[in-house]
Amino acid sequence: MRIALIGQAAFGEKVLQPLVDRGEEVVGVYAPPDISGKTNPLKQLALQLGIPIFQPERMRDPEVYHQYAKLKPDLNVMVYVTSILPESILNYPRLGTIQYHPSLLPKHRGGSAINWAIINGEAKTGITIFWPDKGIDTGPILLQREVEISADDTVGSLYFNKLFPVGIEVVVESIQLIKRGIAPRIPQDESQASYEGLCTEKDAVINWLQPVIKIYNLIRGTNPQPGAITNFGGKRFKVFDSELLAGVAGGLPGEIIDTTRQGLVVTATDGAILIKRVQVEGSPKIAATDFAEQMGLKVGDRLGNQAATE
C-alpha cells in the first residue's frame, strides 16, 4: 500500500517512524515550508529515510496536484494538518484519505479542539480518525479512542502526555484496518456536532468576576497557547502555570490577598488562583514572584479591569 503522509511537527515525525518500521511504503511526505530558525523534525526524518519531501506554500496550487499524482498513492494519511486539502488530492487515492483529530467528533470540530474541551471544564476528550470530506472535520468516523482530562491538565499536558502517544497508536491501528479491508465508515451524528473557531487572545481574557473554576479552566485551556490575559495598571501580561485554591475566601475579585514563594494568590468570587508563572509581551516567561517584584505588586492590589468599573 502506497502512502502519502501529510503532516508537520513532532507528531508527524512520530507517525512516520512506526509506519516505516512496519514496512509501509511511504512514497512521499508533505510538510509546511520551513520557518527560519526552527527545526522541522518531520522533514529531517523523511530526508534521513530517503523519502521524498515536499513543502508547498499552498496545497491547492495546481502544480502541487500534478506532482502529487506522480506518486500514485493508495492512501493519504493526514496528521496534524492545519491547511485544507483540495478535493482533487483528497479523493485521489483508491483507498481514500484518513485524518487525525484531537477530539471525539462530532464534538469540538475546528482547530482548537483541545483548548475548548478544557476551557469548558470537560472530563474527557479523545482521538478521532475519520474519512475527511470537503467540510471542516466532517466525514465518517473510522476509529475513536477516549482519554481522561485530569482536573489539573493544561493544553500542553493533555496533548503531549495523552493525545500525542494515543494518537500515534490509533493512526497505525487505522491503517492496519484499512489494509485488512475492515475499516468502518460510521456517519457522524450531526445532532451532537459542535464547532468552535480558533482560540485566540480575544477568547483568553480573564474576568475575575467569574466563578473561580471558570477562571482556572480558562488558564489551563490556554496554556501554553495563546495564554490567559490580565493586566495591572495598564500593563498587560499572560498567566500560565497556576493552581486552584477553591477553599480560600476573602478579598475582592482580582485582588492579590497573599504573596508566597510559589506565586501570587488572587481572588475570584468564590475562591482564589495561585498564579505561578507569567509573561509580558516580548519577554520570556518568568516566575510570578519575580514579576511582582518588577512591577511592585503587593497585597491589596487588583488585577484586571473590574476595579475601574465598580
Task: Specify the amino acid at residue 37.
Answer: G
Residue with cell 467569574: 210
Residue with cell 473554576: 213
DSSP 296: T
Q: Give the integer Cα–Cα distance in Å for 116 and 179.
A: 34
- The region, left, alpha or beta by phi > 0 then psi within -120 to 50, assigned to residue 139 is left
pTM (two decimals): 0.95
CA dihedral 236, 240, 246, 248 (to 10 degrees): -50
Closest CA to 212 of 272, 167, 256: 272
| pLDDT given for residue 222 in this prediction | 98
Topology of domain 201-309, CATH: Methionyl-tRNA Fmet Formyltransferase; Chain A, domain 2 (3.10.25)
- List per-residue pLDDT tens for the chain, 310 residues long: 999 999 998 999 999 999 999 999 999 999 999 988 888 999 999 999 999 999 999 999 999 999 999 999 999 999 989 888 999 999 999 999 999 999 999 999 999 999 999 999 999 999 999 999 999 999 999 999 999 999 999 999 999 999 999 999 999 999 999 999 999 999 999 999 999 999 999 999 999 999 999 999 999 999 999 999 999 988 999 999 999 997 888 899 999 999 999 999 999 999 999 999 999 999 999 999 999 999 999 999 999 975 444 4
User: Looking at domain 2-192, does it have CATH number 3.40.309.10?
Assistant: no
Other beta carbons within 10 angstroms of residue 151's beta carbon come to: 12
| pLDDT given for residue 307 in this prediction | 47
| pLDDT given for residue 233 in this prediction | 86
Return the domain boundaries, the chain: 2-192, 201-309
Instruction: Give the three-state DSSP class for 289.
Output: helix
DSSP 255: B
Residue with cell 483540495: 86
> Distance of CA 72 to CAs 39, 76, 95, 190, 294, Å?
29, 10, 11, 34, 60
Q: Are 260 and 305 in contact (CB under 8 A)?
A: no
